[in-house]
């Protein structure tokens, strides 16, 4: 079984937005990661202006619901373009690597893969795509063996 989580994209005001949602909705903010926290990568060029932007932030509500969010980087990265009104993706949490593979391979068929499914520096098995209907998706599997201690 997988859980479905909204993933919101912002243009530099992600932290302000999630702090606002937190103030109104309650819950807790367990993680705030900035682009400056990312290790260097040959295949993704970063812009120094993005350093303080939010790479990933989460808000866990008291009823168990979660809202995930990030700022779209200003640098040219495939699949990252801020468009007001179209700045949301659906994120699925898979129950295993095999489940993540099944979701990714099935839903990305005839779509555009924006981040291939792979192990990440933050410990998850993760991928992103836009399906053949234009909907943005993510799949994530937090493998306990790979999670940072």
Residue 29: band (very low, low, confident or very high) from pLDDT cuts 50, 70, 90: very high
94-149: CATH class: alpha beta
**pLDDT (0 to 100) of residue 60:** 96
Q: What average pLDDT is seen over the chain?
A: 87
CATH fold of 1-82: 3.30.720
Domain positions in the chain are 1-82, 94-149
> Averaged over 15-25, what is the pLDDT?
92
pLDDT tens track for 58-83: 999 988 889 999 998 887 665 666 77
pLDDT tens track for 113-138: 999 999 998 889 999 998 887 888 99
CA distances from 102 to 10, 47, 97, 99 (A): 29, 34, 9, 5
- On the question of a common fold for 1-82 and 94-149, the answer reads yes
Residue 44: band (very low, low, confident or very high) from pLDDT cuts 50, 70, 90: low
What is d(CA 102, CA 2) in angstroms, rounded to the nearest whole number?
Answer: 12
């Amino acid at each position: 079984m997988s859980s479905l989580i909204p993933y919101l994209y912002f243009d530099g005001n992600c932290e302000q937005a999630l702090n606002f949602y937190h103030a109104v909705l309650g819950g807790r903010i367990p993680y705030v990661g900035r682009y400056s926290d990312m290790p260097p990568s040959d295949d993704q060029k970063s812009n120094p202006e993005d350093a303080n932007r939010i790479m990933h932030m989460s808000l866990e509500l008291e009823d168990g619901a979660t809202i995930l969010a990030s700022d779209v980087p200003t640098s040219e990265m495939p699949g990252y373009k801020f468009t007001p009104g179209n700045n949301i993706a659906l994120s699925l949490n898979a129950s295993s690597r095999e489940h993540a593979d099944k979701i990714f391979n099935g839903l990305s068929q005839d779509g555009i893969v924006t981040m291939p499914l792979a192990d990440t520096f933050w410990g998850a098995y993760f991928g992103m795509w836009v399906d053949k209907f234009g909907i943005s998706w993510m799949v994530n599997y937090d493998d306990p063996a790979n999670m940072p201690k």
